[in-house]
Structure 1
Amino acid sequence: MKFWIKAFALFVSLSTIAPSSLAESEGKDYEAVKQNIENILRFEVLAIGDAPVPGLVQVSTNRGFFYTSVDGKFLISGKIFNVEEGMRDETEKSLAKLRLDGITDFNQSVIEFKAPDEKFVVNVFTDISCGYCRKLHREIEEYNANGITVRYLAFPRGGLSSKSYKDMVSVWCAKDQHDAMTTAKSGGSVAESSCANSVAQQYAFGQQVGVTGTPNIILPDGSMVPGYQPAHALLNTLKNI
C-alpha cells in the first residue's frame, strides 16, 4: 500500500449523493462534495481538489483542512503519509503551499520588524497576551541581529469577541504600530483605536492553515514551527530547510 492514512480523527456521515451528480470527467468535478460540506456542515469551502490517495478529495475550509470520499459521503480529519517517500507528510506539504499562497494576501498588513542585514523572513502568528509571544518579542533585536525579519500576523486566541482581539485591532490601527506592539507585549496599555484592518481575516487564515496557538512561526518554505524558538535555534532551523 503506497500511502498510509494516520491520525484518523473523525468520520462524519453526510447525505447520499447519486453517482450521476458527480464528475463526468474522471471524478474531478467536486461540486457535489462542496455543496454537502457547505450546506450540511456549514463550512465554507475555500479550495478543493485531488488528494494524493486515489478515492479521496482534499478540501480546504474555513474550519481547517480535510479529506472526503469522492462521493462526499464521509469527511476525514487526519494526515496522509507517503510510506515510499520516507513517511513524507503529504498533508503538511499541501498546507505549506496554502500558507505561502495565503500569506501574500497580508503583505501590506503585517507588522514587520525588519533585519538590517536580512537573510530570512518568517511570519509569526501572535497574540499580545501570550506569554511566549511576549518572550519572543523581548528578543526581537536578537532575531534581527541574526538576519531574521519577523512579520507579525494577528491570532487572538480568545476569538473575535475577546479583549485580546479588540486590543490587537488597536495595535494594528496605531499610528506607530511598532511602538504599540512593543508596549502591548510589555504589558502596557495601548490607546483604543479603530480603522480598516485585517485582524479578523488574519485570525481566520491562521485557523484555515492549522494554527491553534501562539506564537506560531511560518518558515519561508511554508512549514510551521509551533511555539517559541530562541533566535539561535530558529536560525539553525532556517539554515537547514
Structure 2
Amino acid sequence: MKSTVKFLAIGVLGVVLGVASARPWSSISTVKDRLTQSVAGKIPIDAVRETPAPGLFEVQSGGDIFYTDATGKFVVLDGRLMDLDKKLDLTKASIDKASAINFGTDLPLQLAIKEVKGTGKRVMAVFEDPACPSCRILHKLLSQMDDVTIYHFVYPVIDPTGGAYKVKATLCAPEANRVAIWNTFMDGGTVEGDVNCDASAVGTIMDAGKKLGIHNTPTVFLQNGQRLVGALPPDQFVAALDEAAPR
C-alpha cells in the first residue's frame, strides 16, 4: 500500500489529535464516508475503528493499517500506535488480525510438499523460494526443529525462470521423494530429475499466493492463521509457533 497512498495528505500524530480535539467526535460511519471521499477510490477502505487515543481512528485497507482524524483529511502512515501504560504495540496487533487467514480453507494444502517430523503437532505453511537468502536461513532453522508439520509451497518469485527447473524437478518426482529433493534445493544443492510432467500446480500456488497478498518470501502461516513475513529471530519464531499449537 505504501506506493498507493502517497497522494494522501500526511499529518503528524500531534496535528491529527489537535484537529480532532477541536471539533466533536464523529461516528465511525461518518469518518469512513469522509475518508472514502478523500481517497477517491484509489485505495479500499475496508474498515474504520475507534482507537484508545481520543479522536484518532484506525483504518484497515486490505492487510494494511493506518490512522486518520475525524475529518478524514489527515492520516498517519507507517507509524505505530503504542499503549505506553500496557507496553503494547496496538498497530502490530491490528496488522496481525487483518493479515490472518483461515489455515484450513484459504491454503491449497493438497498442492504443498508435506513434511512431518516427530509428532507433527506444530503446524505451519511456508511459501519459499530457493533463490531467496532469507528463505534459506529459515529453512535451516526448520531443519533443526522437531514435532512439526510443514507444508512447503514452492513460490519462485525472485527468479521464476531460473527456479523453474528446481520447482519442476521437485513436483515431477514421486511424492515420497519430494521433501528430500526440495530440501536439497533449499540447502543450495543440485538434483537431476524429470521435468517433463504436468507442473501446472505451480501456477495454482502462485495465484493463491497473490490472492493471499504474499509479496515477499519467506511467508509463513501458522495453524491459528497468523502470518509471519521474513526470517524472524529464531526465539521469536519458535515462540509464535508454540503459541499457535493446540494445547
| Normalised TM-score (structure 2) | 0.60
> Considering only CA atoms, is the larger Rg found in Structure 1 or Structure 2?
2
Instruction: Determine the C-alpha separation between the residues in 2 that align with 1:48 and 1:171.
Output: 44
The structure where strand makes up a greater share of residues is: 1
Q: Distance in 1 between matches of 2:65 and 2:100?
A: 15
Aligned residue pairs total 209
Structure 1 unaligned residues grouped into runs of 5+: 1-8, 15-24
Q: 1:163 matched to which residue of 2?
A: 161
Instruction: Name the residue aligned to 2:72.
Output: 72
Alignment deviations for residues 159-199 of structure 1 (CA, whole Å, 9 cap, x no partner): xx953686687589656454663354245477373246132
5+ long unaligned stretches in structure 2? 11-25
Structure 1 residue 66, shift from structure 2 partner: 2.7
CA RMSD of aligned residues (A): 4.2
SS of aligned partner of 1:123: strand
Residues 27-176 of structure 1: matches in 2 within 5 Å? 27-28=28-29, 30-31=32-33, 33-34=35-36, 36-37=38-39, 39=41, 41=42, 43=43, 45=44, 47-52=46-51, 53=53, 54-61=55-62, 64-77=64-77, 78-86=79-87, 88-101=88-101, 103=103, 104-106=105-107, 108=109, 109-137=111-139, 140-143=142-145, 146-153=146-153, 156-158=156-158, 162-163=160-161, 170=168, 174=172, 176=175
2:14 is matched with none
Residue in structure 2 matched with residue 20 of structure 1 by the alignment: none
Q: Residues 18-62 of structure 1, C-alpha deviation per residue, up to 9 Å, x if partnerless?
A: xxxxxxx923262553465462x3x3x373231424431321337
- CA distance, structure 2, for counterparts of residue 182 and residue 72 of structure 1: 50
The letter of the residue matching 1:89 is D
Tell me the secondary structure at the aligned position of residue 144 of structure 2.
Answer: helix
Asked if the contact 2:221/2:227 (under 8 Å) is kept, the reply is: yes
User: Which piece of structure 1 moves more, 52-61 or 178-187?
Assistant: 178-187
User: Which of 172, 196, 200 is the equivalent residue of 1:194?
Assistant: 200
Cα pair distance change 1:239/1:27, threshold 3 Å: closer
Q: Which residue in 1 is equivalent to 2:22? A: none
Q: Out of 9, 15, 30, which is 1:13 matched to?
A: 9
Q: Distance in 2 between matches of 1:119 and 1:183?
A: 24
| Residue identity in the other structure for 2:28 | G
d(CA) in 2 for partners of 1:228, 1:174: 31
How far apart in 2 are the matches of 1:226 and 1:13?
A: 30
Whether the 8 Å contact between 1:156 and 1:203 is mirrored in structure 2 is no
CA drift at 1:91:
1.4
**What one-letter code is carried by the residue in structure 1 that aligns with 2:66?**
F
Partners in 2 of 1:172 and 1:67 — Cα distance? Answer: 45
TM-score between the two structures when normalised by the length of structure 1: 0.61
Identity %: 20
